[in-house]
Amino acid sequence: MRKILKFFIIGLSIIIAAFTFFLCYATFTDYQPEEKIVIADNSQNPSYLQIDSSISITTWNIGYCGLNAEMDFFYDGGVNVRPEKRVLESNIKKLIENLDKLAKSDFILFQEVDRKSKRSYYTDQLDTIVKYTEHYFPYYAKNYDVFHVPLPISNPMGMVQSGLLTMSKFLPKNSIRYSFPGNYAWPKKIFMLDRCFLVNRYYLPLDKQLLVINTHNSAFDDGSLRKQQMEYLREFILAEYKSGNYVVVGGDWNQCPPESPKDFDDYHFDKENFMPIEHAYLPEDWNWAFDEKLPTSRRTDSPYEKDKSKTTLLDFYLVSPNIEVVSVKTINLEFEISDHQPVEMKFILKTSK
């Protein structure tokens, strides 16, 4: 009996020591980006955009090419962590095929672009996208860099390195990563995303600038993190607009826009997780641009079935009052590649009064 107890104590001590070492190492190696990181500085030779010209932009959370229609995801109530490798490779091939369609846009904002992640079989998706969009200038900002995500315990997600990618046909003055404030408490925060938004600045006539902002706000929280992030973003864009600049924000907001539709004609709207942005978030002359006819995101608690799956509208744009939205359209791929759909917008920079 004493030997059994002794072995039990030794075994338990080893487990506790290993777990303690794991937490210490994870804490020590935790990615802690500064509030402001310059990704690129092209101030010596930037492009100049013209006011009153038509400009196009597309945003798409590609879900690391792992959340196609047949997938569910453990964080959202499903059971899976990643698809089979052949499925992921097929999704990447389909992504490449769709890049030709997206390449009509002057700007493309991607989210969840993996570079070195177990969940996507360590494929460098940034390299793949850049390879097939050679006429764009790419700017990448990490928002997820963890050496090992230990959940789910039976099949850990493992190493993750992922981020935002802004593709531009014009050379910006600079590209800067801004960290969103707030995070989960330790130790959860060392395994979660470090949310941010990526700002590209473009010169305009009369000493004005166009800011193209790529954002990916928090998910799976009670709303408190998103609130902090939205307050930070609001102060940032209001200050830029007050300075006379033009602002376009696009991405995966993980919340619905004000005046969001509460139902779709041919899809089930997710009323259970409905979290709209407050109407009073910004002055009324700011414009939320979205396609109210189609969903942009689906719940991944189960594989996608059009007649059953819950869908919502999380991907859209916010533009300053000096910008006229010409059109906005969701590109309906029926979630074949990702749990999100691309959204295209055309707009015009209005002449300042």
Quick one: what percent of the chain has pLDDT higher than 90? 76
Task: Indicate the number of domains in the chain.
Answer: 2
Pairing outcome for strands 196-203 and 158-168: unpaired
Indicate the pLDDT class of residue 312, thresholds 50, 70 and 90: very high
My answer on whether 294 and 337 are in the same domain is: yes
My answer on whether 149 and 130 are in the same domain is: yes
Q: How far is residue 194's CA from residue 241's CA, in Å, rounded to a whole number? A: 26
Q: Quick one: tokens of 279?
A: 């109407």
Point out the least confidently predicted range of 55-64, 151-160, 324-333. 151-160
My answer on whether 42 and 21 are in the same domain is: no
My answer on whether 54 and 2 are in the same domain is: no
Mean pLDDT score of the chain: 93
My answer on whether 86 and 12 are in the same domain is: no
Question: What per-residue confidence (pLDDT) applies to 1?
Answer: 67
My answer on whether 199 and 298 are in the same domain is: yes
Mean pLDDT of 304-332: 97
Question: What per-residue confidence (pLDDT) applies to 37?
Answer: 98
Q: What is the pLDDT of residues 166-189, one digit of tens each?
A: 999 999 999 999 999 988 888 888
Point out the least confidently predicted range of 72-76, 114-118, 296-300. 72-76
Mean pLDDT of 313-342: 98
Q: What is the pTM of this model?
A: 0.95
My answer on whether 2 and 40 are in the same domain is: no
Rounded-to-10 torsion of CA 108, 110, 115, 116: -170
Question: What per-residue confidence (pLDDT) applies to 5?
Answer: 73
DSSP label of 340: B
Q: What is the pLDDT of residues 11-70, one digit of tens each?
A: 777 878 877 777 787 788 888 999 999 999 998 888 888 888 899 999 999 999 999 999
Q: What is the DSSP string of 185-219?
A: PTTGGGGS---EEEEEEEE-GGG-EEEEEEEE---
My answer on whether 125 and 88 are in the same domain is: yes
Q: What is the pLDDT of residues 229-285, one digit of tens each?
A: 999 999 999 999 999 999 999 999 999 999 998 899 899 999 888 999 999 999 999
My answer on whether 141 and 16 are in the same domain is: no
- Cβ burial 30-39 (10 Å sphere, 16+ → b, else e): beeeeeeeeb
Q: Is the pLDDT confidence value at 3 over 90?
A: no
Question: Which range marks the domain in which residue 22 is found?
Answer: 1-30
Q: What is the pLDDT of residues 72-89, one digit of tens each?
A: 999 888 999 999 999 999
Mean pLDDT of 114-125: 98
My answer on whether 91 and 223 are in the same domain is: yes
My answer on whether 12 and 42 are in the same domain is: no
Question: What per-residue confidence (pLDDT) applies to 349?
Answer: 97
Sorted by sequence, the CB contacts under 8 Å of residue 61 that are 6+ apart come out as 110, 111, 112, 216, 251, 252, 297, 315, 338, 339, 340
My answer on whether 129 and 189 are in the same domain is: yes
Cα first-last separation, the chain? 88
Question: What per-residue confidence (pLDDT) applies to 289?
Answer: 98
Q: Is the pLDDT confidence value at 162 over 90?
A: yes
